[in-house]
Chain A
Amino acid sequence: MFVVLAVLAALVLLLGGCGKVPWNDPYPEGLALSNTLYSSFDERPKHLDPVRSYSANEYAFLAQVYEPPLQYHFLLRPYQLVPLSASQVPIPRYFDAAGKPLPDDAPAEQIAYSDYLVQVRRGVRFQPHPAFARDGSGALRYHGLTAVDLRGINRLADFPYTGTRDLTAADFVHQTKRLAAPWLHSPIAGVMQEHILGFKELGERLTQAAKLDPVARVQALREARLDGVEVVDPASFRIRINGKYPQFAYWLAMPFFAPMPWEAELFYAQPGMKERNIVLDWYPVGTGPFMLTENNPNLRMVLTRNPNFWGETFPTQGMPGDAEAGLIKDASRPMPFVDQAVYSLEKEDIPRWNKFVQGYYDSSGISSDAFDQAVRIGGDGGPSLTDEMQTKGIELMTSVETSISYLGFNMRDQVVGGYSEQARLLRRAISIAVDYEEFISIFANGRGLIAQGPLPPGISGYQEGKGGINPYVYEWHDGRPVRRGIAEARALLEQAGYPGGRDPKTGRALSINYEAVATGPDDKSRLAWMRKQFEKLGIELVIRSTDYNRFQEKMQNGTGQVYMWGWNADYPDSENFFFLLYGPNGKVEHQGENASNYDNPEFNRLFDQMKFMENGPERQALIDQMMTIARRDAPWLWGFYPKAFSLHHQWLFNVNPNKMANNTLKYRRLDPVLRERLRTEWNPSVLWPLWAVLGIGAILVLPALWMVRRRERSTAL
């Protein structure tokens, strides 16, 4: 013990001479004043290939590197598409089966296919990368590498030469073909089969190529032809879609459609690269403002400014209030503003939060347990920061997410499912009894908005106020929705044939299975809470908890009764939410995303109409009808729309919650000098405990030595 302390004390003295860096600074010395943004990630990204990646934690890196044709405007709401690597947002042109152009307002049935002509932005170049490096003769330097060439190469950075080239339309077409390649497992291949002309056929043709070696596969892919996507000229390409699909433009804003240079794919496919973990799935090659320079998912990921970036400027337009919030101060200035962004792996909540408070992360979400420390909910229900946070100058951002967390019933189940009046009443009774207000306040610290239906705010079709409430569960009182009483729920339950929650057939309490995903320490109390809600009706909730994998399988088999799940919007359109209740999208029969297997013919019919429409009063009318049907059938307890609270320090600027855009790093600006000063101020080393322990040690050791001496004399006798 004393040895440890002595070592520590020595270190302390050593450190004391090292200058004024706080001791608990987790970053290397000398970087304190660099224009570097610090953040964290909690799960190592699995895929960084835009063809495969489909999760938020991967997009955090990917979206800064790859640039799809379109992006969401940083400030304007409702969400609006603006060009990124395309030079303008493409406007679809419609054709009938004979190939004749149709007017824009032609009915959906007549439209056989639609064309999107995408103009490629000029002057865009790829990041410096060895795949583009050319030798004196102009040949690609690192293509056709042998085992000898690869000696001593362990990382991408070990290749001494890099090169670049201009972005062309062919890069977009190549990437679209990659989506169809069966060996790349794109999660959206299934969806695109339905929409892009010739996509399915290409996939089938390529199954033969899947057995080839990687280099030959890339060649086969380059030569393959995708009917629906063609290069018009080096600066534009055309995508042909089956029928009418207005949502397609949103897909063009996702990394799936980001341009991919064939040189890079061929470069990574060479033999010997995979053994070194140098693969396209790990080292992205893009045109974006940043490039991934350090890729160690076990420790940290580093994004560095791309020297070849084409010089996008900060948007000049904003919503009212944005100017006051200082959000358009940087208007028209070329982005990005930070030189580097360091993301450290942080698996546990506690260290992450503490490091943020100490100033070592520039921004942070708020975990449920740190909430009280950070945020106070005011008398009016509005959040504000606690004094501790305010004195540190931390700022809070809130926004409702474009996602929903719901409790679903399996509509195929004998008891809770089905479309009989009895089943409907049972579901309605449960809808009233499960007090989601309490759930939000206990488990989400009030960070949620009660859902009255499947559509979250910010999506067109969402209705606020009295007209937007779910009348089966809520009443409108004094200008706000009030949950109906538990007595009413019990009455409904009795009407449903379960007086007092008892099943007349067995005489025992009605028992319902709840399929839960239990992984964290928080889950126990959540499950207990859920049981309590059903107990109010006298129903026994049997909790069957498993891991997420097993849960998905159960959903696939349709054996569950009640389950909790969520949905995160792919794009801000009501279709992306209503399709979760669309019959032909049922999980069990069609492997779709409708986990409740809800299938109401009338609802399906309306959905088929609504999905082709542009937003407007006509569409709103259909949406209202669908909403009424869904609320009556109650296949879900609509649950809540999570609210995102995020904190950032005063030295970080241009933070604006944008739930659709992932490529927001380029907008951020930093004040490293202020950060350095505050970090030092906030993290004074507290030395007295060290001296105290040493002192106590000394006090203990001296008498011990004395005792040794004394005992020696006595035993020597």
Chain B
Amino acid sequence: MSAYILRRLLYALPILIGVNLLTFVLFFVLNSPDEMARMQLGEKRVTPAVISNWKQEHGYDRPLLFNEKASGLAKVTDTIFFQRSVKLFAFDFGSSDDGRNIGYDISQRMWPSLAIAVPVLLVGFAIDISLALFIVFFRATYLDFGAVVLLVAMMSISGLFYIIGGQFLMSKMFHLVPISGYDIGIKAWKFMILPVIVGVVGGVGSGVRWYRTLFLEEVSKDYVRTARAKGLTERRVLFRHVFGNALIPILTGVVVVLPLLFMGSLITESFFGIPGLGSYTIDAISNQDFAIVHAMVFLGAVLYILGLLLTDISYTLVDPRVRLQ
């Protein structure tokens, strides 16, 4: 097992290098260090001298990928790419183009993201599964058909509508919760209500439909028929057997997304003014702050790989037949 994990982690290295290279190329194909300097230095009275000064200060005066002037190994190492990427592997994110420490910012902004994402996941999980079981209970009736159409309809509504509508009703009309904002620590709870409700309601359509399919697949299996033949009630069959067995695909599906919860939600966070990693990323894109974008992409890739690994491991835990070699 540990050998397997080690091998997978080694396998992650080329992927991370590839991700780094791709991010780098994409960012600098369109964006010269000159432009980044201009963006950071503000609007008025920016002269070329100031710009070259800034580039030197932030290490953007090196060539991008290949240094012809240097000799030997320095041809590759004395470049922006190398200088910027290597430290990432040690999770040293350096400082952003406007001078803030990125690692510090990430450690601060991670919690608001989690504070929204985790409740959405848990509450959504509970609601989706109970509704799906309810629908499966009535499978092949008009109730089932109607519910599926309703779910599809809910899926067909753009997520933006849920957010806009939620803010309009809950905050503007009924004065129930603050429209937007956030606070540190326990005081944050009243700001979380609306984003969590919006997140859960927005996910009901696809979530319930997905679980319904899983349960239906399970229901058609032989052991269910046996259980029923034994005289168990339908409710027992569903809750004890079908639910229990469907948990395997459900859980492994959830494990993949667990690490990515850290990344937050781009749209929700910027609409509700939540200072999480999602809005951090969006701001970095619009400010063309390469250092932050780079760090966030790297972090995303690491978490993604971690998710894949966790999935594999969770398979072995829930299903003894699967073995990792």
Q: Which residue of B lies closest to A44 (CB)?
A: B283
A46 and B127 within 8 A (CB): no
A187-B50, A712-B235 are known contacts. Are A3 and B180 too (CB-CB below 8 A)? no
Q: Does B9 contact A (CB under 8 A)?
A: no
Q: Which residue of A lies closest to B138 (CB)?
A: A711
When distances are taken between beta carbons in the complex, the residues of chain B under 8 Å from A686 are: 173-176
Q: Does B23 contact A (CB under 8 A)?
A: no
A344-B181, A552-B38 are known contacts. Are A275 and B137 too (CB-CB below 8 A)? no
Q: How far is B131's CA from A591's CA once the two chains are assembled, in angstroms?
A: 65
Residue in A22, A188, A274, A550 whose CB lies within 8 Å of B175: A22
Over the window 219-248 of chain B, the binary record of Cβ atoms lying under 8 Å from chain A Cβ atoms (1 yes, 0 no) is: 000000000000001110000000000000
When distances are taken between beta carbons in the complex, the residues of chain A under 8 Å from B197 are: 4, 8
Over the window 241-276 of chain B, the binary record of Cβ atoms lying under 8 Å from chain A Cβ atoms (1 yes, 0 no) is: 000000000000000000000000000001111010
Q: How far is B51's CA from A549's CA once the two chains are assembled, in angstroms?
A: 14
Q: Which residue of A lies closest to B109 (CB)?
A: A298
B177 and A346 within 8 A (CB): no
Residue in B38, B173, B200, B273 whose CB lies within 8 Å of A345: B273
B99 and A712 within 8 A (CB): no
Residue in B100, B126, B283 whose CB lies within 8 Å of A277: B100
Residue in A2, A190, A549 whose CB lies within 8 Å of B39: A549
A355 and B179 within 8 A (CB): yes
When distances are taken between beta carbons in the complex, the residues of chain A under 8 Å from B206 are: none
Q: How far is B178's CA from A351's CA once the two chains are assembled, in angstroms?
A: 9
Shortest beta-carbon distance, A291 to chain B, in Å? 20
Q: Does A615 contact B (CB under 8 A)?
A: no
Residue in A550, A685, A715 whose CB lies within 8 Å of B234: A715
Over the window 183-196 of chain A, the binary record of Cβ atoms lying under 8 Å from chain B Cβ atoms (1 yes, 0 no) is: 10101111100000
B104 and A275 within 8 A (CB): yes
Q: Which residue of B lies closest to A190 (CB)?
A: B47
Q: How far is B183's CA from A25's CA once the two chains are assembled, in angstroms?
A: 12
A25 and B178 within 8 A (CB): yes
The stretch that binds A, out of B60-68, B79-87, B186-194, B300-308, is B186-194
Q: How far is B95's CA from A28's CA once the two chains are assembled, in angstroms?
A: 32
Interface centre among B50, B178, B271, by most A CB within 10 Å? Answer: B178
Q: Does B45 contact A (CB under 8 A)?
A: yes
A4 and B123 within 8 A (CB): yes
A46-B40, A355-B179 are known contacts. Are A550 and B53 too (CB-CB below 8 A)? no
The stretch that binds A, out of B13-21, B164-172, B315-323, is B164-172
B288 and A549 within 8 A (CB): yes
Q: How far is B54's CA from A704's CA once the two chains are assembled, in angstroms?
A: 68
B45 and A188 within 8 A (CB): yes
B174 and A689 within 8 A (CB): yes
Q: Does A319 contact B (CB under 8 A)?
A: no
Q: Which of A341-372 contact B (CB under 8 A)?
A: 344-348, 350-351, 354-355, 358, 360
When distances are taken between beta carbons in the complex, the residues of chain A under 8 Å from B201 are: 1, 4
A11 and B100 within 8 A (CB): no
Residue in A46, A190, A345 whose CB lies within 8 Å of B98: A46
Q: Does B182 contact A (CB under 8 A)?
A: yes
Shortest beta-carbon distance, B287 to chain A, in Å? 9
Q: Does A325 contact B (CB under 8 A)?
A: no
When distances are taken between beta carbons in the complex, the residues of chain A under 8 Å from B213 are: none
When distances are taken between beta carbons in the complex, the residues of chain B under 8 Å from A55 are: 42-43
A348 and B35 within 8 A (CB): no
A26-B178, A28-B183, A685-B176 are known contacts. Are A185 and B101 too (CB-CB below 8 A)? no
B193 and A11 within 8 A (CB): yes
Shortest beta-carbon distance, A566 to chain B, in Å? 10
B45 and A593 within 8 A (CB): yes
Label chain B's interface by main secondary structure.
Answer: helix
When distances are taken between beta carbons in the complex, the residues of chain B under 8 Å from A224 are: none
Residue in A358, A591, A712 whose CB lies within 8 Å of B48: A591
Q: Does A139 contact B (CB under 8 A)?
A: no
A191 and B45 within 8 A (CB): yes
Q: Which residue of A lies closest to B169 (CB)?
A: A689
A348 and B273 within 8 A (CB): yes
A298 and B47 within 8 A (CB): no
B50 and A189 within 8 A (CB): yes
When distances are taken between beta carbons in the complex, the residues of chain B under 8 Å from A685 are: 174-176
Shortest beta-carbon distance, B179 to chain A, in Å? 4
Q: Which residue of A lies closest to B200 (CB)?
A: A4
Shortest beta-carbon distance, A300 to chain B, in Å? 9
Residue in B99, B134, B177 whose CB lies within 8 Å of A281: B99
A1 and B180 within 8 A (CB): no
Residue in A26, A191, A684, A711 whose CB lies within 8 Å of B191: A26
Residue in B54, B127, B171, B283 whose CB lies within 8 Å of A3: B127
Shortest beta-carbon distance, B18 to chain A, in Å? 28
Q: Which of A547-568 contact B (CB under 8 A)?
A: 549-550, 552-553
Over the window 156-167 of chain B, the binary record of Cβ atoms lying under 8 Å from chain A Cβ atoms (1 yes, 0 no) is: 000000000001
A187-B50, A690-B176 are known contacts. Are A277 and B104 too (CB-CB below 8 A)? yes
Q: How far is B50's CA from A591's CA once the two chains are assembled, in angstroms?
A: 12
A24 and B178 within 8 A (CB): yes
Q: Does B184 contact A (CB under 8 A)?
A: yes
Interface centre among B176, B183, B235, B270, by most A CB within 10 Å? Answer: B176
B200 and A24 within 8 A (CB): no
Q: How far is B270's CA from A707's CA once the two chains are assembled, in angstroms?
A: 43
A1 and B45 within 8 A (CB): no
Q: Does B25 contact A (CB under 8 A)?
A: no
Q: How far is B26's CA from A663's CA once the two chains are assembled, in angstroms?
A: 43
Q: Does A481 contact B (CB under 8 A)?
A: no
B137 and A708 within 8 A (CB): yes
Q: Does A716 contact B (CB under 8 A)?
A: yes
When distances are taken between beta carbons in the complex, the residues of chain A under 8 Å from B176 are: 23-24, 685-686, 690
B193 and A348 within 8 A (CB): no
Q: Which of B138-168 contact A (CB under 8 A)?
A: 138, 143, 167
Q: Which of B88-128 contact A (CB under 8 A)?
A: 95, 98-101, 104-105, 108-109, 123, 126-127
Q: How far is B172's CA from A687's CA once the two chains are assembled, in angstroms?
A: 13
A354 and B127 within 8 A (CB): no
Shortest beta-carbon distance, A528 to chain B, in Å? 23
Shortest beta-carbon distance, B215 to chain A, in Å? 16
Q: Which residue of A lies closest to B191 (CB)?
A: A26
A347-B273, A686-B175 are known contacts. Are A279 and B193 too (CB-CB below 8 A)? no
B53 and A185 within 8 A (CB): yes
A346 and B187 within 8 A (CB): no
When distances are taken between beta carbons in the complex, the residues of chain A under 8 Å from B101 are: 274-277
Q: Does A377 contact B (CB under 8 A)?
A: no
A24 and B104 within 8 A (CB): no
Q: Does B41 contact A (CB under 8 A)?
A: yes
Q: Does A126 contact B (CB under 8 A)?
A: no
When distances are taken between beta carbons in the complex, the residues of chain B under 8 Å from A54 are: 42-45
B38 and A553 within 8 A (CB): yes
A549 and B104 within 8 A (CB): no
Q: How far is B206's CA from A225's CA once the two chains are assembled, in angstroms?
A: 69
Shortest beta-carbon distance, A60 to chain B, in Å? 15
Q: Which residue of A lies closest to B178 (CB)?
A: A26
When distances are taken between beta carbons in the complex, the residues of chain A under 8 Å from B191 are: 26
Instruction: Give 25 A-B contacts (CB < 8 Å), ordered by A residue.
Output: A7-B123, A23-B176, A25-B178, A26-B178, A26-B180, A46-B42, A182-B53, A185-B41, A185-B53, A185-B57, A187-B45, A189-B50, A274-B101, A275-B104, A281-B99, A282-B100, A299-B182, A346-B180, A358-B175, A549-B38, A549-B288, A552-B38, A593-B45, A704-B134, A708-B137
Top 8 nearest A-B pairs by Cβ distance?
A298-B275, A26-B178, A686-B174, A351-B180, A351-B179, A26-B181, A683-B175, A24-B175
Q: A190-B49, A350-B167, A358-B175 are in contact. List 11 more A-B contacts (CB 8 A).
A: A3-B127, A4-B200, A22-B175, A46-B42, A52-B42, A187-B44, A298-B109, A348-B180, A351-B167, A354-B172, A690-B174
Chain A residues within CB distance 8 Å of chain B: 1-4, 7-8, 11, 22-26, 28, 44, 46-47, 52, 54-55, 182-183, 185, 187-191, 274-277, 279, 281-282, 296, 298-299, 344-348, 350-351, 354-355, 358, 360, 549-550, 552-553, 570, 591, 593, 683-687, 689-690, 704, 707-708, 711-712, 715-716
